[in-house]
Structure 1
Amino acid sequence: MARPDRTERPSPRDTAAVPLPRIPRTAALCGTLAALLAAPLLAAPSASASASPGPPEGGCPTAADAPPKRQMRAEWIASVVNIDWPSEPGLSPDEQRRELDALYDQAQADGLNAVFVQIRPTADAFWPSPHEPWSEWLTGEQGRDPGYDPLAYAVEEAHERNLEFHGWFNPYRVAMHDDPGRLTGDHPARENPDWVFSYGGRLYYDPGVPEVREFVVEAMMDAVENYDLDGVHFDDYFYPYPSGGQELPDTDTFAEHGRGFDDIEDWRRDNVDLLVKEMDQAVHAAKPHVKFGISPFGIWRNASSDPEGSDTSGFESYSGIYADSRRWVREGWVDYINPQVYWEIGLSVADYAVLVPWWAETVEGTGVHLYIGQAAYKAGNDGAWSDPQELSRHLDLNREHPEVLGDVYFSATSLQTNARAAMDRVVEDHYGSPALVPVKEDLGGRAPWRPRVVDAEPGEDGTELTIRPHWHSSPTYYAVYGFDGKPNPHDRWCGLKDPRNMIGTVRASDEGETVFTAPDDDGGRTYYVTALDRLHHESRAAMRYVP
């Protein structure tokens, strides 16, 4: 779907309390006696490790051209108005499943390691929610059961491909039209008409009503509590983008729920802050390992409005939609921030080369991860976007700022259509090797115990490595590295740090043994396998030489 530029006006894209402490994963063994019993196991190296010298003095040199070993590489899969999935309403369950499989397979082929899937686009649900009706984007009729659980399928298939699954929610949008009579009869917006206002031809929940905030958090948390999400994701829609000079119809709400604020705009920002803080608390209270992140509009404030702002002159989310995204980062109310920097390098009103350093400085020292939202939907447009190399140049620039930990592309369909040539360049220039998802240290977790490679046999497509977890460990997935020749101490200590030696990753099987096929193997190679938990902490490596 074509998306207009947002420097002057918003695109129609579909697209505040101290946070609870992050609770580390409970150790498998606890207590003094257990720790003493475990100490010999922790200290004892394997036979192969004991034969190898330690790491080189001064550590391992980093190859200048080595890509990052850890990067978020993701795409948005939008469901509203059937942008990406399902491609149209009313498809059969099998057709919907096949479409999603194809999107996931392409993501995997492009070297991505996560998907951000829109599962609550318009106060509705892609799962059997007790709070809101089935989404009309599934069947064409709001409230109609699609005949299966799309969210359960989407999570399962993402994990099967070892893709992180981030559930993408739109907090306040109720409908893409302004007629409450078109909603299901038992829709909360119809049962509570004082919760809703019409603006710009659409219906929205009023963020200033306390009961609204409580309800939308509860509705979204149903998915968090009942599905194996890796992340909870908000896009840039809080208060609606300005429309035709129309005033927001919330003066009565301000009069009733103003909480002592003198300025209605400060109050609106505080309403959004409260939602962000409360969602952060709710997510981590229920599941401490689940990441909470937001993808705000790419400009917080211009320097002409605030000396802390960016050297830009475009639309400001701070005053335009009351989204104080810089504060969310500084207060630690999000685990990651994913600004939509949807402009080319050199654009005077909103230069990509200005905004990325601004966001890098914003997150510096906060512990909040920074991923850049990339406008794949613009690829092929006139000007800079007519060059398939534009997206790749964005990633070149990102490499100059170590705070940038990855990229998210809008959207999945674009990566298969207008942006295909541009994404091919990205893959060639930047994604030639797999990448592990960055670790968010304060969410807990720990590296699993080192796995075992119990067998290596030739198969139709390469060498089949059979991997077993340590008896004391339940890893989420494995990473496999390959080197030509016999075991080499340098490979063990330094080669594993270079992602160009990583062949791939594979989800750990619930059956105990996991098989990974190493392609194009004519023998005479050494493989190393590490185990990782769901938060991507990596174990020491097991080794297997295949003559």
Structure 2
Amino acid sequence: MALLPTGRHQVHLAVALAIVVTLSMGLVRWQTRPDPARQVVATASCAGRPLDTPRQLRGMWIATVSNIDWPSRPGLDQEQVKSEYRGWLDLAQQRGHNAVFVQVRPSGDAFWESSYAPWSRWLTGRTDGLSPGWDPMEFLVSEAHARNLEFHAWFNPYKASQTGNPAELPASHPLRQHPEWAVTFPKGGKGSRLYYNPGIPEARKFVEDSMLEAVAKYDVDGVHFDDFFYPYPVKGQDFPDDAAFKQHGAGFATKADWRRDNVNKLVKEMNQRVKELKPWVKFGISPFGIWRNRTTDSLGSPTRGLQSYDAIYADTRLWVKEEWLDYIVPQLYWHIGFDIADYAKLLPWWSDVVKDTRVQLYIGQADYRVGQKGAWSDPAELDRQLALNSKYPVSGSIHFSARQVRADRLGAVSRYATAHYARPALVPVMGHMPPNPPDAPEVTEASRDGANGVTLAWRAGDGPRPAGYAVFKVDGETARLVATTRGTTWVDRTVGTPGAYSYCVAALDRLWNLGGSSEVDVAG
């Protein structure tokens, strides 16, 4: 494997690659600052009625490691892999979602042709490094966008391989070339894994470059990490990084402080480098739900569980307070009333953490627990949790994982989807990221055809190309959001009685900012 150069040259190469790819794909033109010559007035009303525009991120994780969700097994042919993925996107749309979080670097591997990582065994077969002969990542992103779903590329930064034996790595694996970066640590059950050592600056830079490669090459909407930095503790084992600490730990009172600083640097640097490369790409992390317990730290939560600050060296509270993230998704995988970690107590704690910051709070919901004993045997548990979310500054939820959403155990998914996701919603705007509101589209057709309903068609206005459109329908004293789409046609099949109807079609930029809109009336 030919490794790309590192350092300043690598940054310039990645930026140049991003520009070339963007131009070649004909993507939305982007301005980091508004053009003073263009004054696009965002849609505020439709037919004189105020807009009812719900803003809520709704997503699910699509896990690839061990083929948890997708693909269903390694080595499937191209058409079956594509068909299965389209099925997950169908499910997302059916459940009212507007985002997917797809694991594209599960274990130091890649779902794209990478100069930094071998092809993933979970995609191509039982051995890392086999090429599928096509571009899965391009397909993943474009299919999500075709359905107006945000695509967040989910990475595990430091996992290097599911095997702990370097001899089992493919010849092209980076740790074959840099064995000094490798750390072997038990999985917690049988066997062990290989990790890139977070305490070696060159290894951290390499890991960052490997993820930024995907940002440069593909039109992703977000870069997403879960809770794996240093591995979770295993009784009687310590992460074997003494040599790295001796070489790089000067100035730190303890190894724990040094490890936290290593993770902090990764988070801070990734945020900076993503924004330098593509200012519109969001960066978010889904950490373990407990930072520290209040019995340990007065700033901690009223809990008695594992502390990510101490156990896996993830100072999640600091990341929010320093605004090194655009969003955070604590995994609140416990039920309301759980004495060790009560959902109803952690939710206000996290709400307080994001207070007075620009970081948006989403909640990681434990769909996988539905049907377990105790509180999770009640199909209303997740429904109650989402209802509780609405009482706090929560901007959305992500559900783990796709196969659990599809399984709909006890009817719990149908229950909360009906109660909370029945109507479409726009992804929340991030005010600190550069807007690029498009001009109003031009409606070219508005016709009624009996049982087929009302058909609307339009074309983009001048100025920046829209990333999508929002359709509003006048309903009493408000104009209600009824659809979002990346297409230029939409059919209202809910029209069942004679009468006149009023609609507005508004343009959206890729960060879901509303631009101009066009109003149209349809006679009964």
Compute the displacement of 1:453 (Å). 1.6
| Distance in 1 of aligned mates of 2:267 and 2:218 | 21
Report SS of the residue matched to 2:376.
helix
**TM-score normalised by length of structure 2:** 0.89
Output the amino acid matched with 1:149.
D
Matched, 1:442 2:416: no
Q: Of residues 408, 411, 414 in structure 1, which corresponds to 2:398?
A: 408
Deviation track 1:236-278 (CA, whole Å, cap 9, x = no partner) reads 0000001132111011110011132121000000000000011
CA RMSD of aligned residues (A): 2.2
Q: Of residues 279, 284, 294 in structure 2, which corresponds to 1:303?
A: 294
- 1:255-334 to structure 2, matched below 5 A, reads 255-334=246-325
- The answer on whether the counterparts of 2:42 and 2:516 sit within 8 Å (CA) in structure 1 is no
| Distance in 2 of aligned mates of 1:231 and 1:405 | 16
Deviation track 1:281-337 (CA, whole Å, cap 9, x = no partner) reads 110000000000000000000001100000000010000000000000000100000
Residue in 2 that maps onto 1:367: 358
How has the CA–CA distance of structure 1 residues 43 and 537 changed in structure 2, closer, same or farther, with 3 Å as cutoff? closer
How has the CA–CA distance of structure 1 residues 349 and 463 changed in structure 2, closer, same or farther, with 3 Å as cutoff? same
Compute the displacement of 1:79 (Å). 0.4
Output the amino acid matched with 2:396.
G
| Distance in 2 of aligned mates of 1:529 and 1:420 | 38
Q: Of residues 37, 57, 77 in structure 2, which corresponds to 1:92?
A: 77
Output the amino acid matched with 1:288.
P
Residue in 1 that maps onto 2:165: 179
Q: Of residues 332, 340, 343 in structure 2, which corresponds to 1:341?
A: 332
Compute the displacement of 1:27 (Å). 5.5
Matched, 1:393 2:384: yes
Compute the displacement of 1:44 (Å). 13
Compute the displacement of 1:420 (Å). 6.8
Report SS of the residue matched to 1:480.
strand
Matched, 1:112 2:97: yes
Residue in 2 that maps onto 1:249: 240
Output the amino acid matched with 2:394.
V
Matched, 1:156 2:142: yes
How has the CA–CA distance of structure 1 residues 190 and 386 changed in structure 2, closer, same or farther, with 3 Å as cutoff? same
Deviation track 1:51-95 (CA, whole Å, cap 9, x = no partner) reads x76x7xxxx6x9xxx9x7100101000000000110110111100
Compute the displacement of 1:528 (Å). 1.4
Report SS of the residue matched to 1:503.
strand
Compute the displacement of 1:338 (Å). 0.5
How has the CA–CA distance of structure 1 residues 369 and 69 changed in structure 2, closer, same or farther, with 3 Å as cutoff? same
Compute the displacement of 1:482 (Å). 1.8
Output the amino acid matched with 2:78.
P
| Distance in 2 of aligned mates of 1:519 and 1:144 | 47
| Distance in 2 of aligned mates of 1:164 and 1:418 | 23
| Distance in 1 of aligned mates of 2:442 and 2:416 | 35
Q: Of residues 448, 472, 482 in structure 2, which corresponds to 1:503?
A: 482
Unaligned residue ranges in structure 1 (runs of 5+): 1-23, 509-513
Compute the displacement of 1:182 (Å). 1.4
Unaligned residue ranges in structure 2 (runs of 5+): 1-29, 187-191
Instruction: Provide the aligned length of Structure 1 versus Structure 2.
Output: 485
Compute the displacement of 1:143 (Å). 0.7
**TM-score normalised by length of structure 1:** 0.85
Q: Of residues 150, 156, 160 in structure 2, which corresponds to 1:170?
A: 156
How has the CA–CA distance of structure 1 residues 464 and 275 changed in structure 2, closer, same or farther, with 3 Å as cutoff? same
How has the CA–CA distance of structure 1 residues 465 and 155 changed in structure 2, closer, same or farther, with 3 Å as cutoff? same
| Distance in 1 of aligned mates of 2:42 and 2:161 | 60
Output the amino acid matched with 1:152.
E
Q: Of residues 25, 28, 31 in structure 2, which corresponds to 1:25?
A: 31
- The answer on whether the counterparts of 1:377 and 1:418 sit within 8 Å (CA) in structure 2 is no
Compute the displacement of 1:454 (Å). 1.8
Output the amino acid matched with 1:126.
F
Residue in 1 that maps onto 2:495: 521
Report SS of the residue matched to 1:97.
helix
Residue in 2 that maps onto 1:541: 517
Deviation track 1:331-354 (CA, whole Å, cap 9, x = no partner) reads 010000010000000000000000
Output the amino acid matched with 1:434.
P
| Distance in 1 of aligned mates of 2:442 and 2:364 | 38
How has the CA–CA distance of structure 1 residues 43 and 350 changed in structure 2, closer, same or farther, with 3 Å as cutoff? closer
Q: Of residues 497, 508, 519 in structure 2, which corresponds to 1:532?
A: 508
- The answer on whether the counterparts of 2:183 and 2:195 sit within 8 Å (CA) in structure 1 is yes
Compute the displacement of 1:540 (Å). 4.0
